[in-house]
Amino acid sequence: MANPSESNAIKITAEDLASVTIPEAVVPTVAPTLGAKVYGTINETAEQFVSVPAERGSILLQGWFYLGVAGMLGALAGWGIAEPGFVDGPGPRWGNFFIIPLIVTLMCIGFGVSESIVERSVRKALLRGALALPLGILLGFIFDMMANSLFSVLMRIVYEAGAQNYRNPAVWIGRGLAWMVFGAAGGVVYGIVGQSTKKGTYGVLGGAIGAGLGGVVFDPISMATHVGSVSRAVGFGLLGLATGIGMGLVESALKDRWLYVVAGPLAGKQFILYKSETSIGSRQEADIYLFKDPNILARHAVISISGARVSLHATGPMLWGGQPVHDRVLQDGDLLQLGRYAFRYKEKHRS
């Protein structure tokens, strides 16, 4: 007789085992909320949280370009004002006396307002222009006397060495060395209106180099054109152009901390961080003025520099690597977003 317990037993065959499937475990996901800390995995980086398409920057936003154009336009304007009163040969008229101070003055104004114009801050451009005008007039006459004195000494040395006229390259070099003073004047004003000693130092160095090159080619241009007014127009125009380009290139080469605009209306522009505190916002007086975005506050954020430490403090909505941030010590390569603008923080690596 069969055991009752055996008749009720559940029998599992090999076919039954083969047909069994194990459902995958479902792990609930929770969307991060504003202000929540999201750590990710050890293999994730901040860049994986956000995708910012880099926009192609315009050449108009490059410092060497807009400073070069500003210097050239300022020099040509100064020449245009003084040329009707200029006379070649003996009997100096008012144009001979005022042409260089006018050129230096208007170059200084151009350097002072060009960056603000590029950033579309009309109010800041007017304020800087009002400051650059008296500085340019004062430095224009002072540096003109300094350059004339230096040129006289250099020409005496050159003539004693055997150079008899302006066709000798030694004369060109002497003029170039003397005209470096004019470029230095532009750099001084550039630093004062920018409220930065370091910016002024870079401006003086770059301006001196550019003006020196402009001075060297002045006499060859005069020989090529054979017309005094044309040679002065071309020569002084190149003086202003070379001075501005030199300032922009030196400033860019020697920068150590800056924000590069990756996306937004100013894509391609770099904001060099000179000051101990740099303000960012929608006010035209802000150090970094961001326009055409209602989501940006008047004083949206501040970047502070203390020694080697660069800190960000945001009072308005801002993302770091795609996540909300209010305070952070910035590191090379950090991606910052506010409104429709995106910035890459960069540092120059020191060996």
The pLDDT value recorded for residue 63 is 93
Per-residue model confidence as pLDDT tens digits over 135-169: 999 999 999 999 999 999 999 998 888 877 778 89
**What token pair was written down for 51?**
């995708």
Residue-wise DSSP of 231-271: HHHHHHHHHHHHHHHHHHHHHHHH--EEEEEEESTTTT-EE
38 class by beta-carbon count within 10 Å (0-12 exposed, 13-18 middle, 19+ buried)? exposed
**What does the pLDDT read at residue 82?**
94
Supply 330's token pair: 């910035």
The span from the CA of 88 to the CA of 229, in Å, is 9
Residue 268 has, within 13 A of its CA and on its CB side, a CA count of 12
CA distance 245 to 111: 11
Structure tokens at 195: 């409220």
pTM of the predicted model over 0.75: yes
Ranges in the chain, pLDDT < 50: 1-2, 4-5, 7, 17, 22-49
* Token pair of 267 as six digits: 């894509």
Contact 290, 320 (CB under 8 A): no
| Contacts (Cβ under 8 Å, ≥6 apart) of 101 | 137, 140, 141, 144
Handedness of CA 272, 277, 282, 286 (dihedral sign): negative
Q: Give me the domains of the chain, ranges plus CATH numbers.
A: 59-254 (no CATH), 258-347 (2.60.200.20)
Of the candidates 272, 290, 281, the residue with the CA atom closest to the CA atom of residue 347: 272
Q: Is 150 exposed, middle or buried (0-12, 13-18, 19+ CB in 10 A)?
A: middle
Query: CB neighbours (10 Å) of residue 130?
Result: 13
As given in the structure block, the two tokens for residue 282 are 């929608």
Q: For residue 297, give the nearest of 327, 341, 345, 343 by alpha carbon.
A: 341
List pLDDT tens digits, range 113-124: 999 999 999 999
